Every structure is written in C-alpha cells, then in structure tokens.
Amino acid sequence: MTTSATAPVPALELPATVEGFRAQFLRNLSFSGGVTLDEASVNDRYLALARTVRDFLMVHWLHDQHRQAEEQPKTVCYLSAEYLLGDQLDNDLLAGGLTEAAEGAMAACGIDLDELRRHEIEPGLGNGGLGRLAACFIDSLATLGVPSIGYGIRYEYGIFRQTFEDGQQVEQPDAWLTLGAPWEQPRPEAAQTVSFGGRTETDAAGASRWIPGWNVSAVPYDYLVPGFGNDRVNTLRLWRAKATDAFDLRIFNSGDYEQAVRAQTFAENISKVLYPEDSTPQGKELRLQQQYFFVAASIRDFLARLPEGFDLARLPERVIFQLNDTHPVIAVPELMRVLVDERGLEWDAAWAVAQQCFAYTCHTLLPEALEVWPVELLGRLLPRHLEIVYRINEEFLDAVRARFGDDEMRIRDMSIIAEFPVRAVRMAYLATVAGAKVNGVAELHSQLLRDKVLPAFAEFFPQKFTNVTNGVTPRRFLRLANPGLSGLITEAIGDGWITDLERLRALEPLAEDAGFRASFAAVKAANKARLNDVLQARDGMRVGDGHLIDVMVKRLHEYKRQLLKVLHVVSEYEGVVSGRVPLDALQPRTVLFGAKAAPGYAMAKRIIHLINAVGSVVNADPRLEGRLQVLFPPNYNVTLAESVIPAADLSEQISLAGKEASGTGNMKFALNGALTIGTDDGANVEIRELVGDENFFLFGMTEPEAEQLGRDGYHPAEFYQADAGLRRAIDLIASGAFSGGDRSVFEPIVSNLLYDDRFMVLADYASYMAAQERVDAAYADPDGWTRSAILNVARCGFFSSDRSIRDYIERIWHTPPTA
C-alpha cells in the first residue's frame, strides 16, 4: 500500500442529482449488465441500481483509503466470524444521501423502486445477536469517522432459510449469491496465502519453525460501509477460500486429475457455509479452519498496509484487533508467530506488542458456549500455534505462581490448557491473558463475567475488566425500519437524533401532549397495517384487528424460554375453552413468534413444533372467536425484524435471569415504542432503569434468586403441584390436545419442564402470568399505554450503537475519531 499512499486521489465526480443518478444507472445497465432498459429484467434493474449506489459511495471510499494510507491513523480491526448485515440498498441510499436521487431516477426510467427493494436478498452471514451487533458496530464506526476495517468470512451459504412442514422446521440452503452480488468488490490481487497442517522443526539456534502441510488462498471481497451523511466510507473485508495454484498443480502433475479437483473442493469448503449454531459451538475441525483462515488472512492484510520499514514494536499505535467473542482468538498465537518467526522479534518484545493489540469481548454466560479446542486437533491443524499457546500458558502460570505460590488448585483453574475431559485450549482464557481489555456486553453481564465466569482472572487482572453495553444502529432500526415514527420525531425535535440518539429525551414532555399521543398511536396503527401487508404477501397471515401485538422474535434457545410464552398462550386458551374465563374478559392479542433453531438442537426444534401446533389449534378454535391468535412466520431475519418491530406493542424478553448476556432485540423494540415484559437480565436491567418501573413489566427471579434456587435444588414438580393454572396448561399439552391425541410428540418437552429444566421455566410461571395480567390492564387504557410507549422511545437513546462505539473508544481502543 506504500505506492497508493503517494498516488493522487483521482478527481472523480458523480453528481448526486436525479439526472446524474439516472445516467450512471443506465451506464451500469448497459455496460455492466449488457441489457437495454426495455429488455431489463427485475434482476438486471436491481443489479444496475446496486452498482450505481456503490459507484457513488466508491468516490468517497477512494478518498478515505488514500487518506488513511497517508496518515496511518490507529485503526480498529474488528474481527468477527459473523456479520448479519440485512438489506444494503436502503441503508446505503440513506447513508449516502442518495434516496431522493434514486427515487427520481427510477421514476424517470419508469421503474418501480419498491419492486427492486423487494427483490433484494439479505446477506445472512450470521446467526443472531452477535452477528447483528457486528453489523451495527461497523455502521457506527463509519458514522463516527473512526478508521476501521471489519474482517470476516464470505460464506457461500449463510444462515439457512427456514420453512415449516407439518409445523416442523426444515432447513433450506441460503443461496444468496446466485443472482449476482452487486455490493461486493472482489480483490483477487490482494489475496493472501493461509497455511495449515504439517509440523514444526527446531533449527540450530533452538528456534522453532513451522513447515506447513497445505495452503489455501484467501481472496478478499470488499463491502463498502458508508457513514451516515458524513461522506466517510469504511471497508468490510470478507475472505473467500480458493485453492492455491501451486497446490493444484502439484497434484495435477502427479497425473491424478480427479484428486486435483477434489483438493480444490476441499480448500473451498473452508468458506462454504456458516455454522448455524448459536451459543452452542460443536467443536468441528472445519470451524477451526474457518477461524484461523480469516484471522490469518486479516492480520497479513493489515500488516501489508504499514509503510515499508515500519517498527513493529510500535504496532499498538496503529492497530487494535477487537475479538468478537472467542471465534477469532486464534489470532493471538498467529500474531505472535508472525512477529517472532517471520519478522524476527524477540519473544518478550512480541508479547509486549501482542498484549496491547488485542481486546476481547465475551458474549455469553453459558459455560457450554465457551469455545475449547482439543490439543490433538489444534496440534494437527496448527502445530506451531499450539507450541506458542503452551509458551504463553507457561509464562502466565509462572506469573500466577509468583503472585500466589504453588496453589495447584488455582493453577489448574487458570491454566489456558484444560486437562478434562480431554486436553484442550480454553480460548476465552487465552483471550483474557492476551487482551489489553476484556469486556462484557451489559452491566449485569460484565459483573457476572468478573464474579462467575472468569473470577480468578478478574482477581489477577482487575484493571483489564470493563463493560460496554451493546447498542443498535438508529439508522437501520429506527430511521429506515420505522419511517412513520421517524417522521413524527423529526417533526417534533428535528433530525439530529439520527446521529445523536440521546436527543430523543426532548420527546419526554410530548408524552403529556394529547395531540402527539394521537399521532404516535396513528403511527403504530399504520405500522400494524404495513406488517399485515408484509405477512399477507409472504405467508398469507394477518394480525387481528385491534389486537395487542405481543412479539417474541430471537433465536430459539431453551435459555431464552420460548416455552414460558407458550405456557401463557396455552393457559389463556385453556381458561376460555374450559369456560372458567368469559371470552370477553380476554384482551384480544396476536402472539407473534419468529425463531430459527440450530439444525442439530433437537429440543429447540421440538419447541418450534409445539409453537406451531398450539397455533394451529388455537387459531382454528371457533370458541376463541379470533380473540387469541398465534402467528409464527418462518425464516426470521433482519428484513422481517424491520417489519415486525415497529408494529409491536409488547416485547417479550423473558430469559432466566443470569443467562442472556445483553440482548439487542430488547433495545430495538423499546426504541420503536413497544413496552417490555421482561426479567431482570442482560440489558433489560438498564432499559428498566432508564424507562422507569412504571413503563416496564418486570417479573421473575433475580439472578441471585435463581442462583440460590439452583443451589437449594430446583424441583419443578413442586411448582406444578402448587399452581392449578400451570397444572392445567401442562396437562393439556401432555394430553395430546395439540398433537392430534398423540401424547408422545411433546412428551420430551413436558418431562423436561417437570424434571430437569436448567432454565427454571415453572419457577417463573406464576410471576409471568401476573405480569401479563398487568399488561392486559394497562392496554385497556390506550392513552396510558401510548404515554408509556412514548417514554420508552424518549428514554432509550442510550442504546444507540454510536454510544457503544464511543465507550469502546474511551475504555478500550483510545482511537480519536478523525474529523
């Protein structure tokens, strides 16, 4: 990159006018797409539109690249195995200030822009909250003008597309690239070689060296990440695995053509598919290959941007690698290997550098979610890295002994190498030892991280531990997803909130303004109508007229407790059909679920089946007269979230306290004026503190109470015996009422709830039902509900990802935003 540092920025100009946009669009349609306007298909028009938007952004990207090569600022390299981006078109139009020009140009060409919007397929390169967080963060980094690069994997198949057959989840491959990928720019000339396998050798001087067994080529594909309204454009660089020519040739020359082609497939498998496990990694060899593949390529890529002769001892002045969970932690021994083996630094000097170049974000409290790699596997795939991990561990444990003496319990506790059930590397420990900082993602989570997950490390390195509460980008999740509310807010307080979300505070007094409340309620009603249009077109579904829209959308996981929501629905249903509850006492509600289950997670898939089964019975029962409905549109993704969240009245955030690290869905809902029914968990705690108890439906055990119950022994059957309503709901499921009389279908769910539920659903049932009664009562006062909804919006500006990024800058990165 030293050449580009001195090359002049080309004097590119693209006028962001209707005429300028139209001209560039027509050029793309013909010269890049090879069609005329008359004969262009929807896909042709979409591709040309996307390329046109990219062209406009590219002008700014070139300027920023040039400036960064020149100025060599400290750069945030965000390392994440997942980016759940969502649609690009409207986001990039908004950021680039191009929406009006594009609308005008499409109209002038007689093209329906909405049809092209619907044609877009979102890149689903992530599972859920963790991947979506990465996408929000790169948006905020660009909007704040922070020099940064997002690094990740260009999966050929992202998260699967979910369909239902007989109420059961079926996974379809997500072939998001088949109709062309207009947002990406392949950069084959910037490919990096990544090695695997082989062995190590010790040279005469006693230094170890890696003799790899095989290589793959990592080819970068760049996505432009525009800041909002600031003409800044950062890079998201995603790596694709390709067979190296040398590798093919060697086998090819041996005469085995078939074997050569198979080797190519083998190499390209590395970036073939996103692992669909969320919070429960499976420890698969290919997953470790993916992790090393992208971090090794990224580190080389970044080092290649440094000027010739750069003193690597000063690397911490130029870069911070933020590790998004443990997935990229193999970057730690990789950087050490590059510095020591390839660049000739002494070990101690290299370690001093590495310890300032990494910071680690932990995303979980579930022990099974902490990645651990068997030494056998790591030694086979990355033998030199294993040696480096051993040395890091030895020196670290020496330091522990120097402080605490030969306390073998403590040493075993803190060792990066676990001995049982197999010798394995604890990636979270490695990240904690190497990282300059370790952060949790909400106040409660960071506290539990110190007290429960990594207590010995918090004692040893108290200064390392910090908190950065997650956030969501207001551009996508308010401005774009909710144009009605955005317009209303802007009318009231101006549009400064889009980049300074705390300004929403100025809405507080308007909660007392009857006119504003009426407008706010009208926006909510319009959003429900819009959701109906989307659901109708996509799934033939409708929400009930005048219903409270009660939404639980997120990955399906036992800890999130979709089953608690199901028990509420079944109880309401049972109350009416048994005649104990008069129908007109039932607050009309539509309960909307959205959730994908990991394909190998049998219990989660069974819960999906149960939700659908309960839905078919409840929705079809004439005794309910449609007053209670359960909808479960398949394939919850960012696009569906953008329609559902603005229409929601009630946000379900009902995990067992102490299990949800933060949640970000909870923030999106509150910012869109839904009230939360939630436990004291994750960022719910902070939401409730900000919006006030009177605007939040709190229920359930606190984390210490849940912990205590676990210690005393949780006996779910006691809760079942003690609560007649709970008994009737569970008995109804067990009776086969939702499975055509077949009692075996949901028996595993029932016995799990009754005998060994780690997430204590029954313990919180009574409290949850009482909270739902408070919801019904509150909803019966529409004016009071709207007042609370407005206060939720006004008081949740804190949850902007811009604020999260400012916290990272201040507490972890120390990168000044550049003007």
Ligand X SMILES: *Cc1c(COP(=O)(O)O)cnc(C)c1O
The residues binding ligand X (CB under 6 A) are 128-129, 132, 554-555, 637-638, 641, 663-665, 668
Residue 240, amino acid: R
Q: Which of 555, 565, 589, 627 is catalytic?
A: 555
Please indicate whether residue 363 is annotated as part of the active site: yes
Quote the tokens at residue 298: 């990224």
Q: Which residue lies nearest ligand X, judged by its C-beta?
A: 665
Cβ proximity to ligand X: between 132 and 524 the closer is: 132
How many of the other CB atoms lie within 10 Å of CB of 338?
18
Q: Is 605 a catalytic residue?
A: no
Are 474 and 144 within 8 A, CB to CB?
no
- Minimum gap (Å) between residue 211 Cβ and ligand X: 43
Cβ at position 129, least distance to ligand X in Å: 3
Is the distance from CB of 658 to CB of 703 less than 8 angstroms? yes
Please pick, among 60, 554, 795, 803, the residue that the annotation labels catalytic: 554
383-404 helix and 427-434 helix, angle to the nearest 10 degrees: 70
Identify whether 688 is a catalytic site residue: no
The residue annotated as part of the active site, out of 363, 410, 426, 475, is 363
Beta-strand relationship, 548-553 and 233-243: unpaired
At 304, is the secondary structure helix, strand, or coil? coil
The token duo for 206 is: 């006693």
Instruction: Indicate the burial class of 110 (C-beta count within 10 angstroms; 0-12, 13-18, 19 or more).
Output: exposed
CB of 769 to ligand X, least distance (A): 22
Compute the least distance from the CB of residue 29 to ligand X, in Å: 32
Residue 639's closest CA among 765, 474, 477? 477
With beta carbons less than 8 A apart as the criterion, state whether 105 and 21 touch.
yes
Task: Please tell me whether residue 382 adopts helix, strand or coil conformation.
Answer: coil
Q: Which of 410, 560, 609, 803 is catalytic?
A: 560
Q: Give me the DSSP letters along 124-169.
A: EES-SHHHHHHHHHHHHHHHTT--EEEEEE--SB-SPEEEEETTEE
Instruction: Report how far residue 686's alpha carbon sits from residue 93's, in angstroms, rounded to the nearest whole number.
Output: 33
Q: Pick between residue 453 and residue 640 the one whose CB is nearest to ligand X.
A: 640
Q: Which is nearer to ligand X, 219 or 641 (CB)?
A: 641
- The distance of closest approach from Cβ of residue 653 to ligand X in the complex, given in angstroms and rounded to an integer, is 7
3-state DSSP assignment of residue 807 = helix
Q: What tokens were used for 24? A: 């560039």
Q: How far apart are the first and last CA of the chain?
A: 23
Residues in Cβ contact with 393 at an 8 Å cutoff, skipping those fewer than 6 apart:
415, 416, 417, 433
CB of 683 to ligand X, least distance (A): 9
- Separation CA 225–CA 61 (nearest Å): 9
560 as an active site residue: the answer is yes
Q: Which residue has the tokens 């569970």?
A: 730
In angstroms, give the least distance from the CB of 479 to ligand X: 15
The CB-of-7 to ligand X minimum distance in angstroms stands at 40
Residue 544 phi/psi, 5-degree rounding, is -70, 145
Q: Please check whether residue 146 is in contact with residue 320, taking contact to mean a CB–CB distance below 8 angstroms.
A: no
CB < 8 Å & 24+ apart, contacts of 384-389: 384/200, 384/208, 384/209, 384/210, 384/333, 384/337, 384/341, 385/292, 385/330, 385/333, 385/334, 385/337, 386/333, 386/425, 387/200, 387/208, 388/333, 388/336, 388/337, 389/333, 389/416, 389/417, 389/425, 389/430
Nearest distance, CB of residue 752 and ligand X, angstroms? 21
Count CA atoms within 13 Å of residue 312 on its CB side: 22
537 Cα distance to chain centroid: 27
490 as an active site residue: the answer is no
Taking the complex as a whole, the smallest distance from the CB of residue 343 to ligand X amounts, in Å, to 40
Residue 171: which H helix or E strand, with range?
A: strand 168-172
CB of 655 to ligand X, least distance (A): 9
Cβ neighbour number for residue 115 with a 10 Å cutoff = 12
163 is catalytic: no
Q: Shortest CA distance to 241 belongs to which of 216, 211, 262, 222?
A: 216
Residues carrying an active site annotation: 363, 554-555, 560, 664, 668
